[in-house]
Amino acid sequence: MNHLAKKHFSQASICYKQRNYSEAVDYYLVGLSIEPECVEAYADLAKSYEMLACWDQALQAIEQALRLRPSDPTSLRRKNRITEENSFYNIPYDAISSPLEDSRYFDLNVSPDISTLSDDLVQKISGILERTCNFVGYRLNFFPLDPVKVYIEEKHLAKSSYNDLDTFPDWAPAYYDGTIRIRCCNYSMSGLGVLQTLIRHEWTHLLVDLITDGKCPTWIDEGLAMSIARQMFSFEMEYLQTANRNGAILRLQQLNKPFSQIDDRQRRLAYYQAHAIFLDLIEQFGFSSICVLLGLIGSGEKPEDAIQQTFGKPTVQIFSDWQRKIDMG
Ligand SMILES: [Zn+2]
């Protein structure tokens, strides 16, 4: 391989590991202009675009990798994943209406140092927030009394502290700490679907916190936030099944501590597992049972007693019943 191209590709992969995806894209593109037949570089370029929620470019790059090497397993796997994400996250721009007046539920603050954010995009973000408050609010039958502060900030690379980003394309890491903070690395219309999913997730945390007075067990909080935010993707289910075959499924105690304290390598698994167990609960007992559960915890019932009352079994059994299903699947 051309020496200069190789240098660009290795620089690209350093940027990717630092979660600096825009710069990674730039390096891949320069490298590919020198060495246009490099399958791996196209496949990695696709992954960088995926993290930036640039769906069209991600698909183009992975197609190019497959044109060069049609049965490349990594490229095929990546193509399936990106295709699935694209069909969920790529929401039509026109489908989001801009609210006409200030919301009762949130107070949006956009950091002035984000120069790339057009008024039009801010309007769309308000629109997404408004419809998310309604969507999650009606599901959980709860609306905050006072407007919640939502901050849209610049993503600073150095601050790669814990957040919910592990389960989403890295377009917009977010977290909830009484207020909702979203940090983006690429503000663009193509990322609005990811933003909507993130806001649903964080808004669920907010409502769960208010309903249960902060007493909700972590796995329920995260599982519910994941279930309300989006479907579970098939590649995530496959990841879980592989983990199960390898005996890597996390135990209840591990999912009961804050996910921020879970080892980096296991955090993704923790989210998938909480999501899957929760979907299973919803399928068996209906979504209304979840509202009953949160209400019981909110009224002062001990979480474990509330779980027993709602589902007729303790958490350990919920876990083992679910794992038995995974074993068979
Ligand atoms: Zn979360």
Tell me the per-residue pLDDT of 264-313, one tens digit each, with 9 for 90 and over. Answer: 778 889 999 999 999 999 999 999 999 999 999 999 999 999 999 999 99
| pLDDT tens digits for range 66-105 | 999 999 999 999 999 999 999 999 888 788 887 778 888 9
Is residue 197 over pLDDT 80? yes
For residue range 98-124, list pLDDT tens digits in order: 777 888 899 998 887 776 677 888 888
Local confidence band at 158 (pLDDT 50, 70, 90 cut-offs)? very low
Q: How far is the CA of 9 from the centre of ligand 1 (A)?
A: 33
What is the whole-number distance in angstroms between the Cα of residue 176 and the centre of ligand 1?
8
In this prediction, residue 218 carries a pLDDT of: 94
pLDDT at 248 over 90: yes
The answer to whether residue 185 scores a pLDDT higher than 90 is: no
CA of 222 to the centre of ligand 1 (A): 5
Choice among 22-36, 58-72, 186-200, 307-321 with the minimum mean pLDDT: 186-200
pTM: 0.89
- Res 10: pLDDT: 97
Range with the largest mean pLDDT of 94-98, 106-110, 170-174, 319-323 = 319-323
User: How remote is the CA of residue 85 from the centroid of ligand 1, in Å?
Assistant: 19
CA of 225 from ligand 1 middle (Å) equals 6
What is the distance in A from the centroid of ligand 1 to the CA of 286?
22
Mean pLDDT of the chain: 89
- d(C-alpha 225, C-alpha 259), whole Å: 13
